[in-house]
Chains A and B, each alone.
Chain A
Amino acid sequence: MNSGDAAWVLVSAALVLFMTPGLAFFYGGMDRSRNVLNMLMMNFWCLLTIPVLWVVVGYSLAQSPFENDLIGGLDNAFLRGMAIGGEDGGFGLLVMVFLGMFAVITPALISGAVAGRMKFAAWAVFAPAWTLLVFVPVFKWVYGGWLGQRGSLDFAGGTAIHVNAGIAALACVLVLGKRRGFPHAGSPPHSMPLVMLGTGVLWFGWFGFNAGSALAANGTAVQAFVNTFLAAAAAGLAWALVERVRDGHFTNLGAASGIVAGLVAITPGAGYVSGMAPIWIGIGAGVVCCYAVRLKSRAGYDDALDVVGVHFVGGLVGSLAVGLFSDPAFFGTENMEGLFHGGGVELLLEQALANGATIVYSFVVTGLLMLALKATIGVRVDDDVEQVGLDLPEHAEQAYHEDSAPASTAPAAALVREVVG
């Protein structure tokens, strides 16, 4: 194991771990103040359960042996055979833990869609069950499995993570139903500063997500880092400009949403595209996602915090863009060339097939999992719980405590009358 590679991938793994709390605050700020702790806990629940699941069977089923078409085996279950003394010096163990961070954040992405109405007990089962039933097989297909073998490309998880979690979010909300009053009763973000902070943490962590996926401290990692830098900026700029022209203002939420859409979109191509491609991909994702988030009120599905509009649509845009911009000559690799680099439409079709297969499998299995949960423990909180907010009934905690009496009382007058009473 090369010490430079090991150092970079170790740091990257920690960066990717940091993305889950970042995502929690990105979503939590957008949520209502009475649901924010439920949102944070849905995300942190992934940090509690998925690492354990990952070392018990997840990693082995997802990656070992690498050549399997559909699903791995149990060779590395319970970390069997993963040592630091062998030929690879522990690099296998390092890759295992690096990928484990991706396994943590993928189900967490779905939490934004189900915000404000899902029973925590149902989420507690859903997150690990979904990881095992949906994330692990799709991850296998894309990395080493049949989709990867056909030549489709997904550098850091556009298809395996964002399209996969995005379409699963749609299946979830279709089973779960709308929040009370959707779409007429609006729920604006309760804390935009938290959203902006979460966005910053996500962008920072995403350098590990994308550049770390080179699994080496090399030129590919450098280009993936540059791409991550540029696509996020271009997409944030594009979204902000669309809102300025269309709605009249540069909004914080528009900038933040664009940054995340750009990060999602550059993920599949981070180690396959170069030059100005990340800027074009970022602009494309920023504009398309800015309009895609409006679909939910027209189509009537309540994707509370726009997981479908940002992660599914952004992932799809980015993944198909690889079919246009893939540039193996730049990276000195053997993969297929994109349409703009003389490769014809072959790669584009493979990208479409890989995403199509992921969409069908993820949507169907996620839907069935949610229906099974609905029939057993139930997926939806009671109406009164939804009304008072999930924090107190579901977690016995409150995010914000008033130091004094409620603001609506009139202290001076009330105090005087009470004393004299």
Chain B
Amino acid sequence: MIKLVTAIIKPHQLEPVREALVGAGIQGMTVTEVRGFGRQSGHRETYRGAEYTIDFVPKLRIDVVVDLFDAEAVADAIVAAARTGQIGDGKLWITDVDHAVRIRTGERGTDALT
């Protein structure tokens, strides 16, 4: 079984999260710049005295495809490293992955991950 661990984190937490994941033994990760809002909602900016509400806040999305047995450890590592305790720390979820292929070699399943 293969799992996809997806996390939305604060952009500045990327480096601690990367270190934690490497420490947890993962072989690769994908980072995407995304925007969105959660309970934090947007923020306000002021230009020439006029206030603008920025509804979607910049975040990073991290995707890690891992073996079922590593999923919880990877999730724990991300949560521990991404947490600042402030509102807007983000979310994490784990989903099932039907299949995986390493493009270079054609290896399939968990062999494609390591």
Contact = CB atoms under 8 A, between A and B. Distances in A.
Given A408-B34, A416-B97, A420-B101, A188 B65 contact: no
Interface in B46-93: 46-54, 61, 63-65
Contacts, number: 67
Interface residues of B, number: 28
A188 B63 contact: no
B52 A419 contact: no
Nearest to B108: A420
A411 B63 contact: yes
Most buried by B among A188, A248, A290: A188
Nearest to B28: A412
Interface string A131-174: 00000000000000000000000000000000000000000000
A223 interface: no
A49 interface: no
A246 interface: yes
Given A407-B34, A408-B34, A247 B46 contact: yes
A253 B99 contact: no
Most buried by A among B30, B47, B51, B99: B47
Contact of B49 (A243, A409, A417): A243
B108 to A, nearest CB: 9
Contact of A407 (B33, B53, B101): B33
A392 to B, nearest CB: 22
Nearest to B52: A186
Given A416-B99, A420-B99, A290 B63 contact: no
Interface string B94-114: 010111110100000000000
Given A186-B52, A189-B47, A413 B99 contact: no
Interface size class of A (residues with CB under 8 A): 20 to 34
A218 interface: no
Contacts of A412: 4, 30, 63-65
B103 A419 contact: yes
B98 to A, nearest CB: 6
A251 B101 contact: no
B6 A410 contact: yes
B49 A247 contact: yes
Contacts of B63: 410-413
A407 B32 contact: yes
A411 B48 contact: no
A297 B98 CA distance: 55
A246 B103 CA distance: 59
Nearest to B97: A416
Given A407-B33, A412-B4, A412-B63, A294 B101 contact: no
A293 B34 contact: no
Contact of B53 (A186, A246, A306, A409): A186
Given A411-B63, A412-B65, A420-B101, A297 B47 contact: no
A157 to B, nearest CB: 24
Interface of A: 186, 188-189, 243, 246-249, 251, 253-254, 257, 290, 293-294, 297, 306, 407-413, 416-417, 419-420
Those 9 A-B pairs whose CB atoms lie nearest each other, nearest first: A412-B63, A186-B52, A420-B99, A412-B30, A188-B52, A407-B33, A419-B101, A253-B47, A293-B48
21 contacts: A186-B50, A186-B51, A186-B53, A188-B52, A189-B47, A243-B49, A247-B46, A248-B46, A253-B47, A293-B49, A297-B50, A306-B48, A407-B32, A407-B34, A407-B35, A410-B61, A411-B32, A412-B30, A412-B65, A413-B95, A420-B101
